[in-house]
Amino acid sequence: MKDFIQSVVSLSIPEHYFMEGAAVKMKPVSGAPGEHTMVVDPDKTYQSLLGLGGIWTDTDLHALLRMSPEKQEEALTAIFDKEKGMGWSFIRVPFGSTDWEVTPDFYTYDDMPRGEKDWNLEHFSIQRDIDRGLIDVLHRCKAINPEVTFFGSVWGMPAWMKENDSIMYGRFDPACTDVYARYLAKTVQAYKEQGIDLYAVTPQNESLTGNDRATPATRMTWWVQRDLAIAMRREFDALGLTDTRVWIYDHNYDMSDFFVKPMLEDEELRKAIDGVAFHDYGGDPCVMEALYNQYPDINFYLTERTITTVGDMDNLVRELRSGAKSYAQWTTMSDEYGGPHVFKGNPFVYGGSNQPAPMERRNFLYNLRNDPEALFRAPSYGVYGSFTKYLRPGMVRADSTYGAKDWLTGVAFKDPTDGHIAMVVVNQTDIAQPLTIRCGGGSADFEQPAKSVAAYVFTPDAVCAAEVCPVVELPVVKVPAWDIAVEEIRLNGPEKAGEDLLLSAVVRNVGDLPTPERASIHVEFSVDGDCQVACANVSLPVLQPGACFEAVSNRPFGMPYFYRVAWRAEQGRHQIFARAVVGNAEAEDWIQNNVLAKEYYFE
């Protein structure tokens, strides 16, 4: 019904999801919006939505495929069906093994004996993906929801394409740029032959993470990935795969300044790619919003984060409001422990010492380790499903009030085919909150329960059209706080290859208050996305707002494969970056801010 708002509420309680309220007719209003009002302006729109969903890792497949066929279908319906389930429409497809495998038998599509190469890709095959059931599951997802979009990502590339000849740790060998681009093109083609069209490919998951886990991973610098992305576009086109896009980065906001920005400044690179893929484990979505405004010809996608609680859902609200065209959850299904999976090289069950994961942190669907047929929906099922069920592919973001975390926060999308609006609102507070939804000259009143996510669906008509009501954001109340930013990296020694250098980072208090007493600063220095090569851990004097402090590497980084204070530069181009964590251990008040990087060339 037009000019009626239908509310659908999901609570952070098991089985309390998609609870429909009575449709409320919008009443005529005029003048400025009142208190506790969220305004939607359907005439002012932004990015279109590609889809919202998740991933099928080996752990997810294990949880699904150990059930009976009937239970498998029940689970897939609960995830992908637009009417009976969450209506997922976006799936990340791992190319080979990820860092979430049931066993450490990691594989790629062209594994060779150590020391051997396969430049012509004669041993290439995706047969293991077929054998473990991934291809079949993807077909079943598509059969339930034809709107599903698939995109591919790599965790471990063939070991022979890396400098260390291992699927774990190590850097990509730039000499393999062309053959790796062909490898990825052959993968897209092989999936196409299996009836799976891939919308896009990211060449490496988390390119700036490599040595913190004994699972498939590879490091790349931005200039290496730039050349690779250009080569990928060339190889895709050569095989007629012109509809498959190239996405770069696939990592966190807080490191994009020295990875994404220089890539987007390259005109040839921008012509080769469709967009940038982000993760949300570090930094702030405002980074993506700034790039969205600066590069209107580039698309931005959220391709990984773990969100399960109501509070987490505000991150998704902010990401969509910052220009994201997608969201992929990590992960989809598991047992009640969140596993099984390997991590850091050893069999490991999420949840610590064999304890079940907290209910609010469990996957959307889970079964029991000792009873795979016992299938449950966690509280996260409804709170995330409020987005995935009602925000459909092709909808465009409409201008709307964000709100405030101590009240309600929300985002609105408009269906351009029939004009209906779906506004998803998050209440992460412990009390019910009043809400008035205003569109033009119409409004309706609600009370949203504590710890809930709600979808408000309506089609504006005559009442809304009676008056124009632009969106005016609530005033932002700035809470004074101390905050630290890394603003300079220094090399304390001769800038020559083969020399040991002490690294230091200059940090500044960019907040409004002095840093706390008895605080300490921990700075990790890395090179070219490598594991931390040096570390500073010292007491931090009380810094007044605007004051600086220099932390010099003074202790070994305690990992078995890198244990040193100074860094010895190799010849060539390098990128050095520093991450600072500052806080007061007694108050458990820690702040991890930006990551700064500088480039050097050593003779």
The residues with which 524 forms a beta bridge, in sequence order, are: 535, 579
Q: Are residues 41 and 98 in the same domain?
A: no
pLDDT given for residue 344 in this prediction: 53
| Contacts with 169 (C-beta within 8 Å, 6 or more apart), sequence order | 210, 211, 214, 217, 531, 561
Instruction: Say what percent of the chain tops pLDDT 90.
Output: 71
Does the residue 352 lie in any domain?
no
pLDDT at position 463 is 95
Quick check: is 477 in a domain? no
Local structure of 87: helix, strand or coil: coil
Structure-token pair, residue 224: 């290496």
127/255 same-domain check: yes
- DSSP symbols for 108-162: -SS---TT---TT-TT---HHHHHTTHHHHHHHHHHH-TT-EEEEE-SS--GGGB
Neighbours of 570 (CB within 10 A): 12
Asked whether the predicted pLDDT for residue 213 surpasses 60, the reply is yes
Same domain for 65 and 19?
no
442-459 tens-digit pLDDT: 999 999 999 999 999 999
- Both 10 and 84 in one domain: the answer is no
Q: Is the pLDDT of residue 478 over 80?
A: no
Residues 195 and 244 in one domain: yes
SS3 92: strand
Whether 476 is in a domain gets the answer no
The residues that bridge with 335 in the sheet, in sequence order, are 367
Segment 588-601, tens digit of pLDDT: 455 555 688 888 88
H-helix or E-strand containing 19? strand 19-20
Residue 98 lies in a domain: yes
Considering the domain architecture, whether residues 519 and 458 belong to the same structural domain is answered as no
In a shared domain, residues 427 and 493 = no
**CATH code, domain carrying 255:** 3.20.20.80
Strand partners of residue 45: 398
Among 465, 492, 514, the domain boundary falls at 465
Q: Decide if pLDDT at 354 tops 80.
A: no
Same domain, 434 and 531: no
Establish if 295 belongs to a structural domain.
yes
Q: Out of 101-105, 355-359, 550-554, pick the least confident.
A: 355-359
Tens of pLDDT along 33-89?
988 999 999 999 999 999 999 999 999 999 999 999 999 999 999 999 999 999 999
The stretch 478-499 carries a mean pLDDT of 84
| 25 located within any domain | yes
CATH of the domain at 547: 2.60.40.10
- The answer to whether 118 and 176 have CB atoms below 8 angstroms apart is no
Q: Are 300 and 292 in contact (CB under 8 A)?
A: yes
Do 59 and 36 share a structural domain?
A: no
Tens of pLDDT, residues 146-161: 999 999 999 999 999 9
Shared domain check, 265 and 202: yes
Q: Are residues 263 and 321 both part of a single domain? A: yes
Looking at the structure of the chain, the number of domains it has is: 3
Alpha helix ranges (H) inside 56-124: 58-65, 69-80
pLDDT digits (tens, 9 = 90+) for 368-384: 999 999 999 999 999 99
User: Which of these, 175, 144, 126, lies nearest to 81 by C-alpha position?
Assistant: 144
CATH of the domain at 427: 2.60.40.1180
- CA distance linking residue 366 with residue 369, whole number of Å: 9
* Distance separating alpha carbons of residues 301 and 324, to the nearest angstrom: 5
272-325 residue pLDDT tens:
999 999 999 888 898 999 999 999 999 999 999 999 999 999 999 999 999 999
Looking at 358, 388, 418, which one is the last position of a domain?
388
User: What integer best gives the mean pLDDT of the chain?
Assistant: 91
Model pLDDT for residues 232-257, shown as the tens digit of each residue: 999 999 999 999 999 999 999 988 88
Same domain, 494 and 582: yes
Number of H helices, E strands in the chain: 12, 32
Q: What tokens appear for 402 in the block?
A: 């964000």
- pTM here is 0.92
In this structure, is residue 224 part of a structural domain?
Answer: yes
Question: Distance (Å, rounded) from C-alpha 579 to C-alpha 594?
Answer: 7
- Residue 6's φ and ψ, nearest 5 degrees, are -100, 125
For residues 242 and 235, what is the distance between their CA atoms, to the nearest angstrom?
Answer: 10
Q: How confident is the model at residue 211 (pLDDT cuts 50, 70, 90)?
A: low
Instruction: Provide the residue range defining the domain that includes 127.
Output: 51-333+383-388
pLDDT value, residue 587? 43
The percentage of the chain sitting over the pLDDT mark of 70, rounded to a whole number, equals 93
pLDDT at 350 exceeding the cut of 50? no
Residue 533: the pLDDT is 81
Q: Tell me which of 388, 421, 452 is where a domain ends.
A: 388
- Over residues 420-443, the pLDDT tens digits come to 999 999 999 999 999 999 999 999
Q: Which class for 479: exposed (0-12), middle (13-18), buried (19 or more C-beta within 10 A)?
A: exposed
Tens of pLDDT, residues 517-559: 888 888 888 887 666 788 888 899 999 999 999 999 987 755 4
Tell me what pLDDT residue 477 has.
60
Q: Is residue 354 part of a domain?
A: no
Whether the Cβ atoms of residue 158 and residue 120 lie closer than 8 Å to each other: no
